[in-house]
Structure formats: C-alpha cells, structure tokens
Structure 1
Amino acid sequence: MSPVLLLALLGVTFPLPGVQALLCQFGTGYDVWNVSQLPLHWTPKEISCDSGLGCQDTLVLIESGPQVGFVLSKGCTEAKDQEPRVTEHRMGPGLSVLSYTYVCRHKDFCNNLVTTAPLWTPQPPADPGSLRCPVCLSMEGCPEGTTEEMCPKGTTHCYNGLLRLRGGGIFSNLRVQGCLPQPGCNLLNGTQEIGPVRMTENCNTKGVQELLCQFGTLKEVWNVSQLPVHWTPKEISCDSGLGCQDTLVLIESGPQVSLVLSKGCTEAKDREPRVTEHRMGPGLSVLSYTYVCRHKDFCNNLVTTAPLWTPQPPADPGSLRCPVCLSMEGCPEGTTEEMCPKGTTHCYNGLLRLRGGGIFSNLRVQGCLPQPGCNLLNGTQEIGPVRMTENCNTKDFLTCHRGNSLQKDPLDGPCLIP
C-alpha cells in the first residue's frame, strides 16, 4: 500500500464579509523517500484565499539512486493561470529532476493534485557503468563516508551539492550526491524557480562556512498540568552569514497554555538569551524567550519550556466570571465561564495572528484582565521573527477555514515528556 501523508494544523484564515474568496487545497511537504514507496498520496485540507488570488500546485521530485526527494507546495498564489505542466529539468542517466506546476481560478479546490502518480513512472534498471559515486539525498546532511554505489552507464562525474528551497511555505535545504554525465554545478539546468519555490544551488561544500542550527516550529495548546513540554528538533544548514535563533512564546489563560516555538536561521544580530514578561496577570499572562547566536553549530539549543515556566500558586478568586479559552481553531459559542482571579475587572476576547519564522497561525484568546482594551501584548508587535497582530473585533472572525501542513512535523514526536 502506498504511504499516506498525514496532515497537521498550520493556520486559520478569516475572509472579509462580502468578498468572493476562492477556496484552495493547502499544505506543504518535503522529505526523502525510497523509490519503492512511490507513488505517494496525501489528503490536503483547505484555505480561503484573498480576493483575486488563484490556487496552485507545485510538486518536485529529485531522484538519486534508490532515493527520491519530495517537495510539495499547495495553496494561494498571485501568479497567472497556467495549465498543468510536467517539466523534465534533468532526465539522467544518474540524477533526475522532474516538476509539476498548475495555477487555476475556475472553481474552488481546482488545485487537486493528491498523488505523485502523474509525475512518476517506474524506470527499468539502467545498465551499470564503471564510475562509482557517493549517493545520498537528505534534508539533514549526508554523513561523511557515504557508501559509494555503481553509477549507470553514460555518467562520468560525481555530483555533490546543496539545494536551498525557499518560498511557497517551503524553507529547507536538500543535500544531493549522485552521478551525472558531465561536470559542473548545474543540477537544475538553469532553473531557479519552480512555482513559488525558489531554488539555489551550491557545490562549494568546503569553501562556504555554513552554520548548522536546530530547526523546527511548534504551535499547540496544552493544559498547565502537562508542562514542562520537551521537543526534539531537527537540523538545518543556514546560508553563509546567518545565525541560529530560538523563539518561544507562552500565553496562559486559566488552566490552558498556548505554546508557539520557532527555531532556525536568522539574519538578526546576536543577542543573549532573554526572557520577557509581556503581561504577568492577574488573569492572562504572556511570556517569551528569544536568543540569537553564531558562536557554534546548534547553539540555539532550547529543547524545553522549563527556563520560561515555573508553576504559580493558585490565585485568590475574585467576583468576575469570564469565558476562558485558548484555541488555534476557534473558541466554541457558549464557552464555559470560570471564576477570574482577584484583581481582574474585565473579560478579554481577541484573535492573535502569528506570522513569520515558519509560523502561520491564528490563536483565539479569551480570559480575564485587570483593565479594558485590546492590548494583550502591551504594545509588542514582534517576538523574534514572529509578527503578532491583535484583533478584538469579534465580528471579523465568525467564519474560518482551516489549513494544514503536509510535511512531517519538524519536531519529532511525541514532543511531550511528562
């Protein structure tokens, strides 16, 4: 049976009243598979695009020996309509690169590619040649001493390069080793963009001092009793000159805590670890941790909420009762009201839009505050690479369409360690 890609929540979008927004299939995926596992299938969810935007499908398959690199982007686009197109950027012998692109506006969910089948047909085994090369595809880096394999007839050179993939919800690097019929660093035959995904190639593996960073994103709502939370990040090789960054935001409302985590590369200047109390109750509280470093590989080594979270004693109850909710999907009508702590005087009901650092999500927040207004973050608009905008006009978020990411969660699960 073909593998099925399971989906994880990525974001919530809210169309404006009266706007005829197009509904599109939505998600991103990137990973390395064995050729024997193809064709792959996935089950996307949906997103409501801004007026005038179209739907797009972009699929790239890169084959080296027994492995296939898989890159998928589905969602909204400003690009003009384009008929389904299969492009053979390189077709062997040795390494091969194929892509599928499509842009449409004629109906909802027109970007309906759900399998690699249109782009992939098994090839008969190639006759062996006399060249032997390391053969590897990896999002994390090929180990030293990768096993060499016999190259197919017609290949004359070993290829060793790094593809940087950026755009269309994709932010990853793919290390490529394999066999080619000519020398040089031109795996994509001059192609620099496939759909919304920009691709740059680097074969100077010794001359570029690239920093390795811990990498991943996480956005989830937990019960306070489940903290501290731990995670196991993956790794990424950053462009020359970039640093590593950790950004963690915890928002507490009653018995719930929202966790927003971004780890990866950054252009920002180095900064020491910093814990900021944006709001510290009574009632709702917002804490953040930020760190930028370049002094060694994997220096952004935050792997737990522990430095940012210490259990607080129960607060004395007051007389106010408010709905209390934290949700990435929306708080249901008639959320149960809870007794607010002493010192709070108003009920808060707002939406935080979180964008940047690999985060694209909305967080609905309800809880208790000691003053009126829509200023949960006390004026903060950015925490690390994550931009935050606040909206307390509840009429603007009565309708939502949920989208998701096709990629395997960059934070290997389960991330909770009791």
Structure 2
Amino acid sequence: MSPALQLAFLGVTLMLPRVQALTCQSGTHNSLRDVLELPLEWTAGQESCEDGWGCQDTLILIENGPQVNVVISKGCTAAADQDVLIREHRSGPGLSILSYTHVCREKDNCNSLSTTLPLWSLPSTTGPGSLRCPVCLSTEDCESATELACPAGSTHCYRGAVWIRGGNIFQILRVQGCMSQPGCDLLNGTQEIGSIKVSEDCRPNAFLTCQRGIMLHSHQHLSQTPIKWTPNNYELCNIGEVCQETLLLIDVGHKSIIVGSKGCSKGRTQDAPTITIHSAPPGVLVASYAHFCSSNRCNRASSTSVLLNSLPHSAAPAPGDLQCPVCLQIFGSCPENPEKVTCPSGTTHCYSGYITLREGGIYSALDIQGCMTQGSSSLLNHARTIGVFSVMEDSKKRQDMQRSGMGIRGAQ
C-alpha cells in the first residue's frame, strides 16, 4: 500500500511541506555545422521555475553527409520526470536523426547536459554505393545542392523540409540526401522530441518563409537617394503562397514618399522583378517595383536602389509658365491653400487627387497635388494593382476622403 493511500485510510491529516521551486539551467541554440566539429560543449544560463516544475534537456542532431544541424533546449518544464532517453529516430546509411531528452526534479540544475558526447559517434566507414543524390542541409534553399555518392545501402533520394519549433527555437530546415527507404518519412513518425515539436513536408515550396515588414518614408529626394530596406522579421507562408516585395515611390518635387511591403502573397506566380513608371517627369513622378518569387526568403532586396537604379535621370528642366499647388500627405490631408510653385517646362496642367493603398499590411490614402504632363487625369494610368497593393485613384472625392480619416496600419 502506498503512503498516500495509507494516510487516507487512517484518516490522518498531515501538513506536507511546500514543494520548493527549482532553479534550472536555461538556454537554446540551433546551428548548422561541419560534422567534424563534433563533439561540441556549451555553458548555459539559469532560470527560476514555477512551483512543481522540473528541469529539461533536449538535444537533437540531424546528420547529412558532411553537415549536422544541432538543436539544444534547456529550461523549466511542466512535463513529468523522464530518465535520460537516447533515441535514433532515423538511422543511416545517409540521413540520420538522434536525440537526447531528460526531465528531472531531484535538485537544482539537474539538467546538466553540456556536450553532444552522448550522441556522438565516429564517422561512418560505410563505403560508397551506386546511388548518387543531391545533398543539402540549409535554412535558406537547396538550389545549389551538391550531388554526392550515397553510402552503400542507400536506395532513394530524399527531398523535403523539416519544421523545428519550441521555446525560442523556430527553424525550417531544407533537406536533401540519401535514404534507405522511399517516401516522406525522414522523422519516422516523430512529432515531439522533448520540448521540441517537429514536422516534415516534401511538397514543393513546403514551409516557404519570406521576409516580412512594411516601410514608410517621407522626405526630400527619395527618388535620388536610396534607403535601407531590411526587415528583421520572417513569416511562414500558407500552402500556395509566394514571397513578395513591393515599393511605390511618389515624388512631387519638394517632397517624396516611398511605401514598401514584404511578406507572403496569395494567388500570384513567380516572376522577374518588374519596374513600372506610371507617371514620369517633368511633373509628379510615380514609379513602382514588384517582385514575386517562390524560394525561401527570396524577397531579399536590401534597399530602394532596386527601384531607383531604373529611374530616368536627366537635368532639371527650365521653369515653365504654369503654376500649381504642390502637396504630398500620407497622414491627413493637404491644406486648403497649399503652396504654389512654378511647374517645369513641358507640364500642361495641375493634378489633385487621392491614391488609396490596401493589402500588404498597408491601408493608406495619399493626398497628392502637383504638376502633370499627360492629358489624362490619372497618375497611375488606371492601374488597379501595383505588386501586392490594391490601388484606387480618385481626384473627384476629396472631401469624402478627408472625412474618412484613413491611415496606415502594420501587418498582424
């Protein structure tokens, strides 16, 4: 009879001591390395746990030829105690996945693993077979994978993506290599390894990740001076989506605005970057850059020079006879009597209107006044989409738009 059952049977009530909160080693790490760097050693920080929680160690090695992906997670956990468990989720020849997991509560910092030695083994001496496969282990893409001779016993080439997530770890690993069986089963059915969740997908563009962020700058000379465009965030796309990056530049002379969006996009196919000059100088300049692509983090333009380098650059024209109000506002509306300027020679009339942007994390109405050269009243030549943006141009409903209070909002 267990002590707990005996106490209940005797009807005795005891004040059990309060479980003291543990201190655990804490930290995460994931990196791609040369397999010859193993075994690795590390030191960890510490964290105080909630009452009743334990300490955990998780170590995962994904080996693929000359490379290994190392995942380490240490910290507090609500999971039940578990003795040290070493598992071989996928054995060679070729690709292999090994793990070490441990949950303990016997003392502070009992999750004391500090080396990959428990999973380290001598490199395989298996000779090469007749099969050759592209071999790649990358967080980017495998477009330039090197074809290598597979170890004897390999029968199939694997190509897929492994999603690793848990705690502060989020990694999508592109994998190509040698396997001893067909199919999309590198993980051998495994979905959790200690504190880490794993999944795989062998469809093209599975787990596509894109740079994500919006940009808005308002200043002079944005059509001449490039600015950085490097968001620090990434997003995981849904199946069927691609990466996109879109820039829209509007320059009325004394002021310019550039709006940018990066992220996932639905219903578009991969294409080469597109530069469009919707309205050219002299007068209001409106130009855009749009790029849709389907490889991992391919929307990586790092500055607005991808647009500016394709703009026409000519000497400033002589002043003409026309005078127009000039204004460019993204927050609020132009004043009732904006400053008038002498338009460049070659302009024919004054423009006044709104361009509304939606999608791509942007919802904004741009109030624009300036000089124009073309006979049409449209700065966008009646375009309805610019890259990821849905656009609407209207020069007839200024008062309605002023009352709507449109602004900009970030992607959620």
Q: What's the TM-score, normalizing by structure 1?
A: 0.50
Measure, in 2, the Cα distance between the counterparts of 1:151 and 1:116: 25
Contact between 1:140 and 1:235, CA under 8 Å: does it hold in 2? no
Q: How does 1:280-319 map to 2 (within 5 A)?
A: none
State the match for 1:127 in structure 2: 127
Measure, in 2, the Cα distance between the counterparts of 1:152 and 1:300: 36
State the match for 2:159 in structure 1: 160
Q: How does 1:323-334 map to 2 (within 5 A)?
A: none
Shift of 1:47: 0.8
Contact between 1:139 and 1:236, CA under 8 Å: does it hold in 2? no
State the match for 2:210 in structure 1: 213
Q: Which has the higher strand share?
A: 1
Bigger RCO of structures 1 and 2 (CA < 8 A, at least 6 apart) = 1
Q: How does 1:146-295 map to 2 (within 5 A)?
A: 146-205=145-204, 208=206, 211-214=208-211, 233=232, 238-240=237-239
State the match for 2:141 in structure 1: 141
State the match for 1:53 in structure 2: 53
Measure, in 2, the Cα distance between the counterparts of 1:114 and 1:303: 42
Measure, in 1, the Cα distance between the counterparts of 2:204 and 2:242: 18
Shift of 1:213: 1.6
What count of residue pairs does the alignment treat as equivalent?
237
Q: Secondary structure at the match of 2:239?
A: coil
Q: Secondary structure at the match of 1:25?
A: strand
State the match for 1:93 in structure 2: 93
Matched, 1:109 2:106: no
Q: Which runs of 5+ in 2 are unaligned?
A: 1-17, 214-226, 245-261, 266-290, 305-409
Contact between 1:244 and 1:300, CA under 8 Å: does it hold in 2? no
Shift of 1:240: 2.9
State the match for 1:258 in structure 2: none
Alpha-carbon distance change, 53 to 239 in structure 1, aligned in 2, over 3 angstroms:
farther
State the match for 2:41 in structure 1: 41
The percentage of counterpart residues that share the same residue type is 53
Shift of 1:78: 0.9
- The one-letter amino acid paired with 1:147 is T
Measure, in 1, the Cα distance between the counterparts of 2:139 and 2:151: 24
Could you report, residue by residue, the CA deviation over 1:251-290 in whole angstroms, capped at 9, with x for unpaired residues?
xxxxxxxxxxxxx9899xxxxxxxxxxxxxxxxxxxxxxx
- The one-letter amino acid paired with 1:169 is N
Could you report, residue by residue, the CA deviation over 1:362-395 in whole angstroms, capped at 9, with x for unpaired residues?
xxxxxxxxxxxxxxxxxxxxx977xxxxxxxxxx
Shift of 1:202: 0.5
Measure, in 1, the Cα distance between the counterparts of 2:91 and 2:202: 20
Q: Secondary structure at the match of 1:135?
A: strand
Could you report, residue by residue, the CA deviation over 1:234-261 in whole angstroms, capped at 9, with x for unpaired residues?
967545378989xxxxxxxxxxxxxxxx
Q: Secondary structure at the match of 1:42?
A: coil
Contact between 2:229 and 2:302, CA under 8 Å: does it hold in 1? no
Question: Over aligned residue pairs, what C-alpha RMSD do you find?
Answer: 3.9
Matched, 1:64 2:91: no
Measure, in 2, the Cα distance between the counterparts of 1:180 and 1:66: 15
Q: Which runs of 5+ in 1 are unaligned?
A: 1-17, 217-227, 246-263, 268-293, 305-382, 386-418
Measure, in 1, the Cα distance between the counterparts of 2:149 and 2:185: 22
Q: Secondary structure at the match of 2:186?
A: coil
Alpha-carbon distance change, 171 to 125 in structure 1, aligned in 2, over 3 angstroms:
same
Alpha-carbon distance change, 19 to 154 in structure 1, aligned in 2, over 3 angstroms:
closer
State the match for 1:272 in structure 2: none
Alpha-carbon distance change, 42 to 187 in structure 1, aligned in 2, over 3 angstroms:
same
Alpha-carbon distance change, 34 to 232 in structure 1, aligned in 2, over 3 angstroms:
farther
State the match for 1:27 in structure 2: 27
Measure, in 1, the Cα distance between the counterparts of 2:144 and 2:102: 40
Q: Secondary structure at the match of 1:136?
A: strand
Measure, in 2, the Cα distance between the counterparts of 1:215 and 1:118: 39
